[in-house]
Chains A and B, each alone.
Chain A
Amino acid sequence: MLAIKINNNILLSVLILILALPYFGPTLWLVMASLSTNNQIITDPLSFPNQLNYENYLYAWNKANLSNYVGNSLIVSSFTSILTVILATMLGYAITKLIFPGRRFIYLIIITGIVMPVFAYMEPLIRITRTLGIGDSLIALILTTTATYLPVPTLLMSSFFAMIPNDFVDAGRVEGVSELNIFMFIMIPLAIPGLLTIIIFSFLWAWNDILLPSIFLSSADKYTVPMAILTLKENQFRQDHVVVFAAAIISTVPMIIVYLFFMKQFITGLTSGGLRG
């Protein structure tokens, strides 16, 4: 929107590409390196690989056990996003469209939750999961990820519901529809774009997080993908750069899918949900 009066479009494109180079450049190199050999990226890192070594990917997937970790990540991310969308929708609807005692207080608690870094209360949190008998488990990871992340989607849902006119609710009440049915069959269908945004959002959040997995998971077979890549980096693949790089590329697949198919949805959800202006 900077209304640059450069008629020369090529000049503008070159300017943008130079600006963007630090951002896409390293990734381009990473893709190239992940198809290369260890020898080559040490001796001649900037040249194109002599032959494309797809084996790096197979090696990462099979030998480095990435298939197992992708399974863990899928479980954690799916359950987190389902749980988050259910709870956030219920909370968001209640604090926006219904009056009940302590509504302001609940709102205040949720707001405070946004600025509360997990690390501040890490140690008591671990103790609580141990007390509940779910220490070092994917269930602990799912529940804590949902709980700590919940304030953001709740506020997003709240602003989504706020945009839906009350006439829908009132019409339902006049017709004698129960509160539950108004919520389930009138309001939720109207808030589908918001629900989708939150499902995508929280799935990626859980997929990419290393904070909570590094706190909660101590046995290696339960690691999520980013955690597994960090251990690859540390342990047996000390000199095996290309496998780490291939694993890193594999870990981006869900994000790329979301970008290609849902990004518009994602951004519209974010900006129309009250962040406008």
Chain B
Amino acid sequence: MKFINFNINISSKNKDTYYFALFLIFPGILLFSIFVLLPVIETLFISFTNWNGYSKNINYVGFDTYFKVIDTYPFSQALRNSIIFGIFGLIVPPTIALIAAAIVEDPNVKYKATYRFLFFVPYFFSMGVAAAVFCRAYDPTYGVINNVIQSLGFPDFKPQWLGNHILALPSAMVVLLWHETAICFIVYSAAIQQIDKEIYNAAKVDGANIVQLFWNITIPSLRKITLFIRTIMMIVGFTPYAVIYPLTTPGLGGPYYATEILPTLIFKKARIGSSAGEAAVVGVIMVLLVLFSVYLLKYISERFTPSVDTN
């Protein structure tokens, strides 16, 4: 989990510092305990009960609620969609951003600041606002997308982007891609600027071509930041509530659960279905999915990269 270096850099072992340290950590840990740790523990506890969320009697039922939830179609659909979204987020936005950043940060390119601005523009919008605008654009009758398709000479081609159970999920992915590539781009662009230019010059003297420079210098130099970006994008992909909620309200989940994801399922079970136990189960499974994937990604990244550190 060391995406950010945790450098233990202690200067004194004086016992006086104990009390000062406790004074420093107390407010933050208190807030964190009340609003994160406590509800997390409660969720774990509730997941082993069949509590409906408001009644007084809470029965311990072991893993019964887990089996009950896992068997349902909305759950398997939500899990599937979350995983598809996660893999998409992990692969597509960072890759496009890396290639775009490598081209823009090329020494031959002029007006770099302008290009960086153009790539970063989507991030000016909150993801929810972006999705709200896209929702309007996807509208089959009034939306700009179908209007453009018609004016290009396909008057009968009027797909219901968000109403069609095949198109709904890719339509939502487009919003995620549009929005998240921007932040990946700007982080990559900053990271590429920090690579030592002497390495490139030395490689060029040895006769390396563009692709070799990109493959053998740029990519290995960005290994750590790539792992960081991909991990964040994967977590964003698993839980893209900010995309799904604006696009599919009030349906929340789309046609035939086409855009059901784990967060919308939790939302429905907890707020509408009045089943706190089942909501907690989905929550626990979501956390396990995220933790497992984060470690898997870290493992893969370490396993398949050469041990020689180019940085």
Using CB atoms and an 8 Å cutoff, list the residues of chain A in contact with chain B: 1-6, 9, 12-13, 15-17, 19-20, 22-24, 26-27, 29-30, 33, 41-42, 45-46, 86-88, 90-91, 93-101, 103, 106-107, 109-111, 113-117, 119-125, 127-128, 143-144, 146-148, 150-151, 154-156, 158-159, 161-163, 166, 169-170, 173, 179-180, 183, 207-211, 214, 225-227, 229-230, 232-234, 239, 241, 244-245, 248, 251-252, 255-256, 259, 263, 267-268, 270-271, 273-277
Q: Is the CB of B108 within 8 A of A4?
A: yes
Whether B120 and A259, one on each chain, are in contact in the complex, defined by CB atoms closer than 8 angstroms, is yes
Bound complex: CA A275 to CA B135 (Å): 36
Cα A128 to Cα B40 in complex, Å, equals: 12
**A117 x B290 contact (CB < 8 A):** yes
Please tell me if the beta carbons of B28 and A101 are within 8 angstroms of each other in the complex: no
Q: Given that A121-B283, A239-B142 are known contacts, is A211 also in contact with B18, CB under 8 Å in the complex?
A: no
Q: Which residue of B lies closest to A154 (CB)?
A: B28
Across the interface, do B25 and A274 meet the contact criterion of CB distance under 8 Å?
no
CA of A97 to CA of B221 in the docked complex: distance in angstroms?
29
Residues of chain B contacted by A26 (CB below 8 angstroms): 122, 137, 178
Task: Provide the bound-state CA to CA distance between A277 and B150, in Å.
Answer: 48
B221 contacts across to A, CB distance below 8 A? 277
B299 lies within 8 A of chain A by Cβ = no
- A4 lies within 8 A of B115 (CB): no
- 13 residue pairs bridging A and B, Cβ less than 8 Å apart: A1-B200, A20-B119, A23-B122, A24-B121, A45-B144, A99-B18, A100-B17, A117-B290, A119-B241, A122-B270, A124-B43, A159-B4, A230-B129
Residue of B nearest to A227 (CB): B128
Distance (whole angstroms) from the CB of B37 to the closest CB of chain A: 7
Q: Which residues on B sit within 8 Å (CB–CB) of A252?
A: 124-125
- CB of B235 within 8 A of CB of A45, answer no
B16 touches A179 (CB 8 A): yes
Asked if B69 is at the interface of the complex by the 8 Å CB criterion, the answer is: no
Give the interface centre of B132, B197, B239 by most chain A CB atoms within 10 Å: B132
> Are the CB atoms of A267 and B186 closer together than 8 Å?
yes
**Across the interface, do A16 and B39 meet the contact criterion of CB distance under 8 Å?**
no
CB-CB under 8 A from B210, the residues of chain A are 2-5
Main secondary structure of the interface of A (DSSP, over half): helix
Contact B119 A23 (CB under 8 A): yes
Is the CB–CB distance between A117 and B25 below 8 Å? Answer: no
In the complex, residue of chain B having the shortest beta-carbon distance to the beta carbon of A208: B126
Q: Please, how many angstroms separate the alpha-carbon atoms of A150 and B31 in the complex?
A: 9
Confirm or deny: B163 has a beta carbon within 8 angstroms of a beta carbon on chain A.
no
| A63 CB, min distance to chain B CBs, angstroms | 18
Contact of A1 with B132 in the complex, beta carbons under 8 Å: no
Give Cα A45 to B12, complex, Å: 66
Which residue in B46, B225, B238, B249 is a CB contact (below 8 Å) of A117?
B238
Q: How far is the CA of A108 from the CA of B286 in the complex (A)?
A: 20
Point out the residues of chain A lying under 8 angstroms from B133, CB to CB.
30, 244-245, 248
Instruction: Decide: B194 and A101 in contact? CB cutoff 8 A.
Output: no
Across the interface, do A271 and B126 meet the contact criterion of CB distance under 8 Å? no
B110 in the interface, Cβ–Cβ < 8 Å?
A: yes
In the assembled complex, which residues on chain A have CB atoms less than 8 Å from the CB atom of B5? 159, 162, 274
- State whether the Cβ of B35 lies closer than 8 Å to any Cβ in chain A: yes
Q: B55-63, B154-162, B260-268: which lies at the A interface?
A: B260-268
